[in-house]
Structure 1
Amino acid sequence: MRPVQAPWVRTRLRTAPGAAVALALLVVLTACLAAALPRAVDRYEDAGLRRAVERARPQSTTVAVWAQPPSPLLSQEQREAALRPGPLAARYEKIRAVVDSPLVPDPGQSTYGVRTATPMEASDGWLPRPSGLPARISLAAQHGLGAHVTKVTGRLPRTDGPVTARTPEVEAAVTAATAKSLHIRLGSRVHVPAVGRASLAVRVTGIVTPRDPEGAYWSTQPLLRTPALAVVPSNDPNKDYYWLGALLLSPDAAPALLGTAAVPWSYRQYAPTAGSLHSYDTDRLRSVIASLEGGPGLRRIGALTGPTTTVSTDLDQVLGTYTALRGGVRPLVAVAAFGAGTVAAVVLLMAGGLAADRRRTELALLRARGASLRGLMGRLVAETAVVALPAGALGCGIALLALPGARVSYAIAAAATVTALACATPAVRAAVAHRVVRVHGGRADVASVRPSRRRTVAELTLVVVALGAVETLRRQGAQDNQLTSLAPVLTGVVAALLLVRLHPLPLRALARPAARLRGTVAHLSLARAARTSASAVLPLLALLTALTTAAFGGSVLAGVHETRDRAALLAVGADARVETSAPLPTGLPERVRRMPGVRGLAAVSIGYQAQPGNGTQSVPLAGVDPRDYAELADRTDLGPFPEAELTARKASGAVPALASPAVAERYGSRPFPVRLEDGSTITVRVTAVRSRTPAVTAGDFLVVDRAALSRTAARPNALLLTGAHLDGPALRRASGGTASVRLRATERARYVDSPLQSGAEHVYTAAVAAGAGYAVLALLLSLLRASPERAALLARLRTMGLTRSQGRRLLILESLPQAALAAAGGALTGWATIRLLSPAVDLTTIALAAHDVPAGPAALQTDPTSLTLPALAVVAATVGAATAQAWWTGRRGSVAELRAGDTR
């Protein structure tokens, strides 16, 4: 009878359940994060696209198809039949089928109908005439009126029998806004000119309130909802005005428009469904729009409605603005993604290497007994796959459930890549270590293992690639390509390779003077640190990449926040601004000065129509208290100046003035008169030039001492406040509710108006945090790898008289040099990366989106916290791990530790 053999995989898993559980947890976490990243990017990019479409006017986003009336060559009955609801609905559905995905029309907001191409003059004298000109009326028969109103006074229009071009009277409804502006009541008759017969009478039977006034049904053609006061084009400054309004007919009454003096056009409005829009379909969507406006799509529509059909929409412009914003955000997010992904990959490689090293003796024995390398690798892959495959599937499933509504393919691909890497790493590592059959391995520290030529060539290649990426980024900017996004990561990789080659040198130099000390701990720890494992490149690579990414990420976030803060300051002029067109109440400045949070206050009288020189141009003139205003300018760093610049009178008697560069260039240093808004005149001389000033946030300006102005002109109409946590509602109440109150914090929040910005910041922060967490995990794995050897060393030294405190100091001092060098190298690499890439990275897009603010380009800002805090965390984690190992080793017996060391 043959003995029953236990399966290899089951036996191996039972012998090391802790290692299997740890691997499963690592794969679950990594696969979940890898799958979550593309889904998170999809979600915020889709939300940004939908927000952009929703914020745009329906006039811009709706696809409108306009067709001229039926051909005059047709009979009158055929022309009338073409405008009836049945044929219009059939063509509407056929055209809707032409509109290809991903442009999905919203059935609730899309519609069709017939409308007069030009408004017609109404002959009724009771309609309002602001300038004596008759009102002009547009007639529209739009489908679905009853479903888009919430209130009907009277009833909706209808028809009694078939309507033709000769019908003398039809019914109509108007919106409440139209009825109010044009003085229309129930039963009112509006007469519009007809062709070859008496005017067409339109009787109003209902006044309706729109259900969704801002929706595409009403807002694609705003005149149907809201009347307009139009102006007659002329060069006369006294313009003539007239009212424009629309009457809403029943769809069955559309043939009556053929008898009017205006040309009736049929139209179809296809409003896009915002929920169906996806960022990854933007290029296809723009291609579909281009086809509809002037390509195959237009030809197909023209075959249904006629050769003169036109398709118009501004949705492609909305998409263009969005893609420009997305193009500025993506490269910055890619930097964080590549950094975190590199660190996670290194940790997986380290975990696989640790698993292979733990089995080194066993695998070497199997090879010595005749096991093939291919068979050994197959068994290791199977053993790892039993744990990694379910873990990877679980991590991917968690990401899919936690972040719904995004593409699945990229998430599955990312999780599968993580799982494959986890499965292959132990087998590949074992194949490299055991490709030659040997029982006893040699030493693997840097004193005995020298870098091979292949490794040297590979490292030099990485250096060249990194230099090329940095130079490309500096020349072309942060474009959407992988090479430039990898520049910070490659910089960290090069720094890690250099540190691995160079760090033993200073440690050996320090070991020589330490040998002269009386104690042996310092010399022994430095000697061991200088002879560290030659495979320490992976932990250092993880640490330096994580530290570089964290420094770069902190610099990006600091630059974004600084840019927004600066832009808000330029827009407000201070931390808060209280301004009215009339003089402020006399006691208001003192009441505001005593409010909580107010640090400084400058009362300013601003005249925006001051006329210097010959009075051909107006320049804002601000009258200020020199002391308060100088303090304000210094605190805000908006054109700071010495107080004496506004108080020292010149011999000519002219009032000293602070001016913008354009004003200073125009009038020079000579005295010139300035006529104020109250009719008084002062003579000023430019004594200082500044490009910006708090009182006037844009354009040219003059700033003078308020004491030199007349009593009327000197009364302040604006208060500029500095301080933290200013209360906007309290400021409005204090000013009586009539003043305009603007807060710097509110203005700063306004710049984050797209989910692209906030989503990118959140993903960036999460990626940097994940990279830092994996870096700490890499550090712990490196310490865990050396833990058995260190424990055996302490046991041997304790047999020679080493105390527990000396053993603790030995482990700490042995680990500290590498951690300190890694931390210092990471901080230095991060700082150098920021300095190298700062000229090429423009954060204006992610900081301000589409806002036009004269804040200058947003550049990377060195963030001391992101440079020092992760580095200190690395040192603290190293010291803590060494202390914990020394404490745990001290609790175990020396015999057990020596046996553990001997077996390895």
Structure 2
Amino acid sequence: MNPVTAPWVRTRLRAAPGAAVALAVLVALTACLAAAFPRALDRYTDAGLRQAVEHAPVDESSILVTAGPDLDGGVAHTEESVRPGHLTELYESALDTVGRPLVVDAKRSSYGVRTTETLPSPETWLPRPDGLPAQMLLAAPNALADHTRLRSGRLPEVPGKEATVSTTEVQAAVTEETARTLHIEVGSVIHLPGRQDLTVHVTGIVAPEDPDSPYWSVDSLLRTPSLRRTPGPMGASNPTYWVGGLLLAPEAAPALLSVAPTVRYWHLTPDPDALHSRDLGPLASAVASLESGPGLEELHARISPLTDVTTGLDAAFTTYGELRGDIGPLIVVAASGAGTVAAVVLLMAGGLAADRRRAELALLRARGASVRGLAGRLLAETAVVAVPAGALGYGVALLALPGARPLPALWAAVAVTAVACLALPLRAAAHRAVRVHDGRRDAASARASRRRTVAELTVVVLALGAVETLRRHGATNGAGDLVALAPVLVGVIAALVLVRLYPLPLRGLARPARRLRGAVGPLALARAGRSSASAVLPLLALLTAFTVAAFGGSVLSGVADARDRAALVSVGADGRVEAETALPAGLPGRIGKAPGVREVTEVGLDYRARTNDGRQSLPLAAVDPGEYAALAGRTDLGAFPAGELRRPGGAEGGSEDAVLPALASPTVAERFGGDTFQLRLADGSVATLRIVLVRDRTPAVYGDEFLVVDRAGLAPGAVRPNVLLLTGGDLDAGALHRAADDAGTVQLRSEKRGTYVDSPLQSGAEHIYTAAVAAGAGYAALALLLSLASTAPERAALLARLRTMGLTRAQGRRLLVLESLPQALPAALGGVLTGWAAVRLLSPGIDLTTIAVSATTSPAGRAELSADPWSLAVPAVAVLVLAVGVAALQAWWSGRRAAVAELRAGDAR
């Protein structure tokens, strides 16, 4: 290419500053969204792992290393093994044994010596509920001053700074709760007889700095006393006694050796900030090494051959891994769909720029410019705009979502920038052959090349294989990365098929349209047939966005429905008030007047109803058949005809000879069949039943075993109402609690529904899906606008020419609207069909149970994916409205401008 007097890039940017700014905004926004996805995913997954560990019981969310005192080296050696200095050395050795990426939080960890048995105290001033003496647990934890606030007195010390096995008097502190419950004061003396009697002087009362920290929660007796019951027969009224904890100075640990069996402990708490979901495998390996691997062997060598390690971290990691494994593929589906639409829009932006400069590029090739040189200059021109914009988007993502890995976000932003930079230069390859005129490229007359046909068939085969793999193996059973692209590939197939089928109706309607009266209809159809044949990218963007919106909307709708259904099955209605005994007579009336309550259904629930032999117990619900049948029908929980459950006309309430019809669960019906059987109720009365109805569920009882009978057929007062099932759209929890007045527990369906979202991974997946659907819809709208903008100058010039020939403004608006419909209608209808087909095809392999209720099983059964009508209809309507609106707006705007200006603009093209 010949040298030029002015730099190419500067000249081109000055010639089209608006296009450069638009490209920069598009690249910056896309790079920001692309970089934000992996960072948001990191934050959600890490938060989910930390919550899984923190919400586990303290004894399961940490590592407890225990070992008895060293007994094989004499008394002095045994005493030395429990002194603070030696325990600290072993604690540091234990920290060195823990393998990365598992990191121990030293501030939340603890170690020390404690007795393994509680010791009874003969002090009569300690509370004795049933005459049994209170018992004490002795512990000498490290750093007591760092984890407590002194309320009165002073912290315990050791006279002479050293205790031995012969020490018979020690000092101790107690927590405020222990002091209040056991009536302990500063100066109290507690005698503890054991293998050697020990006298404990209470010198201080302390308050834990963080009562819920692992330091205090490993053995809760050190913080809170416990009222225990002596062992005895089940259900017997066994006597109770108090057990509390005494906190000794660390230097007093040797004094415990001669009192009771003792154990050295090192409680290692993981640092939550060091837990990352990406390290789940190495974290599990580090825990396994400590439990039964090289780590345990190292502890045996450093501490004692009898060292024991217990932890529940492996179970927490496994549970979280299963949740992540179930949710992860669904997130990939959303990300791949939104990413495909964004990539298509970037390619369309480059294609639009290439079409706008087609004449310029053809002229440069005719004057001797090489394809390589032309592509290189176009690349430099685009990179000057796209690279800073991509860097800006990446920086915004870093600032908006801190605390995640920067490298995956960087690669995502680089990928977006690369696509934006290469889109225009790659289109320069279309000018490999030097041409002056390209000829017409009408959709109705274009023929696809063999290469394009082969490429399309390859994509179709891949998509069909991905869909079939997903249907057979499911999205959560390791079916491969291709499966995650199945919804996108379905959209690709639809776009390719629609582009192939689009010319057929145009050819079929072209000849009949000539016979129509008026010029607007035939002209609009002719214009639609002469539109560009290269409509694959806009259709691909629209149909992929439709598929993602339908799939994502169906996922969100399915998750919400699954949670609602699970909450409804668990509660039985919109609200539930239940008591162990009969409810007060006026309570149903008060509850019925609470805000939002429309219906109140009374149920007498007897959980202790037994067969005559006493071997089997069954929950029995005594109801009013009419009211209960209406409730079952409203909730769709085992609807049944009320007449079949009513007591026979001659049966009197309480008669053992009268056979009452019963509704039963399948397991109960299989057990008793169609024969009559008797149940002995909690009040001693007997009811004779025959199962006439079988339902999987019923509102009053949640479970696989239940019986429902007419309350009027039982003895008066046999099963008095103790459950109220409430129907209402917006129940007020506070008002219901006040109306119940502690007469029974109140459960709301809305509150129960909230308990199913207990992991940031669940909420994060929903947020990502919502963002993916919104981003896909936005980029699809942008793709449609870009497609319309590419032909806007040509349409404006056409209207100007037609106005000089007498076309009115109204006719011009109708022309542009009718011209846009042959493209918008197939896209909308094809999008609806594609979205519906994608959901129907992929639903057998998608299980939403885990993401819905954070468990592999749900009270309402498997949560399946089903098409959401709103997710199908809204995008289709939006495309039609947008296409028609843009056409009408352009016709209105063109009518306000002078025809000469429009003609010059069209001629310049």
Q: TM-score, normalized by length of structure 2?
A: 0.94
1:584 and 2:589 aligned: no
2:189 partner amino acid: S
1:698 and 2:703 aligned: yes
Q: Secondary structure at the match of 1:164?
A: coil
1:654 and 2:626 aligned: no
The CA deviation at 1:124 is: 6.2
CA deviations over 1:618-649 (Å, ceiling 9, x no partner): 22222222211111111011111111112251
Partners of 1:624 and 1:706 within 8 A in 2: yes
Q: Tell me the equivalent position of 1:885.
A: 890
Q: Tell me the equivalent position of 1:816.
A: 821
CA distance in 2 between counterparts of 1:242 and 1:589 reads 41
Q: Tell me the equivalent position of 1:258.
A: 257
The CA deviation at 1:184 is: 4.7
CA distance in 2 between counterparts of 1:187 and 1:288 reads 46
CA deviations over 1:798-836 (Å, ceiling 9, x no partner): 333322222221111111111111010011111111111
Q: Tell me the equivalent position of 2:605.
A: 606
Q: Give the stretch that moved more between structures: 146-155 or 830-839.
A: 146-155
Q: Secondary structure at the match of 1:649?
A: coil
1:63 and 2:60 aligned: no
Partners of 1:815 and 1:882 within 8 A in 2: yes
Q: Tell me the equivalent position of 1:543.
A: 542
Q: Tell me the equivalent position of 1:573.
A: 572
The CA deviation at 1:444 is: 2.2
Q: Give the stretch that moved more between structures: 286-295 or 724-733.
A: 286-295
Q: Give the stretch that moved more between structures: 806-815 or 794-803.
A: 794-803
- Structure 1 residues 170 and 321 mapped into 2: Cα distance closer, same or farther (>3 Å)? same
CA distance in 2 between counterparts of 1:782 and 1:44 reads 37
Partners of 2:667 and 2:704 within 8 A in 1: no
The CA deviation at 1:876 is: 0.5
CA distance in 1 between counterparts of 2:635 and 2:149 reads 52
Q: Secondary structure at the match of 2:267?
A: strand
CA deviations over 1:736-778 (Å, ceiling 9, x no partner): 2322111111111111111111111111101101000100000
The CA deviation at 1:517 is: 0.8
Partners of 1:64 and 1:270 within 8 A in 2: yes
CA distance in 1 between counterparts of 2:865 and 2:148 reads 52
Q: Secondary structure at the match of 1:516?
A: coil
Q: Secondary structure at the match of 1:259?
A: coil
CA distance in 2 between counterparts of 1:78 and 1:587 reads 73
Partners of 1:521 and 1:809 within 8 A in 2: yes
CA distance in 1 between counterparts of 2:725 and 2:328 reads 38
Q: Tell me the equivalent position of 1:319.
A: 317
- Structure 1 residues 855 and 237 mapped into 2: Cα distance closer, same or farther (>3 Å)? closer
The CA deviation at 1:190 is: 2.6
2:296 partner amino acid: L
Partners of 1:129 and 1:243 within 8 A in 2: yes
CA deviations over 1:417-447 (Å, ceiling 9, x no partner): 11111011100111x2111122222222234
Q: How does 1:457-472 map to 2 (within 5 A)?
A: 457-472=454-469
The CA deviation at 1:324 is: 1.1
Q: Tell me the equivalent position of 2:562.
A: 563
Q: Give the stretch that moved more between structures: 714-723 or 841-850.
A: 714-723
Q: Secondary structure at the match of 1:59?
A: coil
Q: Give the stretch that moved more between structures: 172-181 or 453-462.
A: 172-181
1:51 partner amino acid: Q
Partners of 2:128 and 2:134 within 8 A in 1: yes
Q: Tell me the equivalent position of 1:622.
A: 621
Give 2:214's match in structure 1, choosing from 199, 213, 216. Answer: 216
Partners of 1:820 and 1:875 within 8 A in 2: yes
- Structure 1 residues 302 and 647 mapped into 2: Cα distance closer, same or farther (>3 Å)? closer
CA distance in 1 between counterparts of 2:801 and 2:818 reads 18
Q: How does 1:267-346 map to 2 (within 5 A)?
A: 267-346=265-344
Q: Tell me the equivalent position of 2:96.
A: 97
CA distance in 2 between counterparts of 1:588 and 1:281 reads 55
Q: Tell me the equivalent position of 1:444.
A: 441
How many residues in Structure 1 have an aligned counterpart in Structure 2? Answer: 897
1:207 partner amino acid: I
The CA deviation at 1:234 is: 6.8
Q: Tell me the equivalent position of 2:354.
A: 356
1:271 partner amino acid: T
CA distance in 2 between counterparts of 1:456 and 1:184 reads 89
- Structure 1 residues 777 and 157 mapped into 2: Cα distance closer, same or farther (>3 Å)? same
CA deviations over 1:840-886 (Å, ceiling 9, x no partner): 10000000003854211001122111100011000100001111222
Q: Tell me the equivalent position of 1:709.
A: 714
Give 1:797's match in structure 2, choosing from 781, 799, 802. Answer: 802
- Structure 1 residues 391 and 514 mapped into 2: Cα distance closer, same or farther (>3 Å)? same
- Structure 1 residues 231 and 677 mapped into 2: Cα distance closer, same or farther (>3 Å)? closer
The CA deviation at 1:17 is: 0.5
Partners of 1:137 and 1:192 within 8 A in 2: no
1:785 and 2:795 aligned: no
- Structure 1 residues 89 and 476 mapped into 2: Cα distance closer, same or farther (>3 Å)? same
Q: Tell me the equivalent position of 1:396.
A: 394
CA distance in 1 between counterparts of 2:696 and 2:235 reads 36
CA distance in 2 between counterparts of 1:562 and 1:655 reads 36
Q: Secondary structure at the match of 1:60?
A: coil
The CA deviation at 1:378 is: 1.0
Partners of 1:80 and 1:255 within 8 A in 2: yes
Partners of 1:122 and 1:193 within 8 A in 2: no
The CA deviation at 1:655 is: 2.2
Partners of 2:61 and 2:313 within 8 A in 1: yes
Partners of 2:442 and 2:529 within 8 A in 1: no
The CA deviation at 1:118 is: 4.3
Partners of 1:157 and 1:205 within 8 A in 2: yes
- Structure 1 residues 166 and 475 mapped into 2: Cα distance closer, same or farther (>3 Å)? same
1:191 and 2:189 aligned: no
1:284 partner amino acid: P
**Percent same amino acid among aligned pairs?**
61
Partners of 1:575 and 1:745 within 8 A in 2: yes
CA deviations over 1:387-424 (Å, ceiling 9, x no partner): 11111111111111111111111111111111111011
CA deviations over 1:35-77 (Å, ceiling 9, x no partner): 11111111111221222222112211122222332242x2433
1:526 and 2:546 aligned: no
CA distance in 2 between counterparts of 1:355 and 1:346 reads 14
- Structure 1 residues 382 and 164 mapped into 2: Cα distance closer, same or farther (>3 Å)? same
Q: How does 1:728-877 map to 2 (within 5 A)?
A: 728-850=733-855, 853-877=858-882
CA distance in 2 between counterparts of 1:582 and 1:236 reads 22
Q: Secondary structure at the match of 1:32?
A: helix
CA distance in 2 between counterparts of 1:606 and 1:265 reads 49
2:102 partner amino acid: L
The CA deviation at 1:372 is: 1.5
CA deviations over 1:105-140 (Å, ceiling 9, x no partner): 223211211223444565767766778876654432
Q: How does 1:78-93 map to 2 (within 5 A)?
A: 78-93=77-92
1:473 and 2:470 aligned: yes
1:412 partner amino acid: L
The CA deviation at 1:365 is: 1.1
Partners of 2:849 and 2:857 within 8 A in 1: no
The CA deviation at 1:553 is: 0.7
Give 1:675's match in structure 2, choosing from 671, 676, 680. Answer: 680
1:477 partner amino acid: G
CA distance in 2 between counterparts of 1:203 and 1:546 reads 75
Q: Tell me the equivalent position of 2:141.
A: 142
Q: Tell me the equivalent position of 2:654.
A: none
The CA deviation at 1:10 is: 0.5
Partners of 2:849 and 2:858 within 8 A in 1: no
Q: Tell me the equivalent position of 2:29.
A: 29
Partners of 2:665 and 2:695 within 8 A in 1: yes
CA distance in 2 between counterparts of 1:498 and 1:886 reads 31
CA distance in 2 between counterparts of 1:588 and 1:200 reads 57
Q: Secondary structure at the match of 1:317?
A: helix
CA distance in 2 between counterparts of 1:237 and 1:797 reads 96
The CA deviation at 1:235 is: 6.6
CA deviations over 1:314-348 (Å, ceiling 9, x no partner): 11211111111111111111111111100000000
- Structure 1 residues 137 and 736 mapped into 2: Cα distance closer, same or farther (>3 Å)? closer
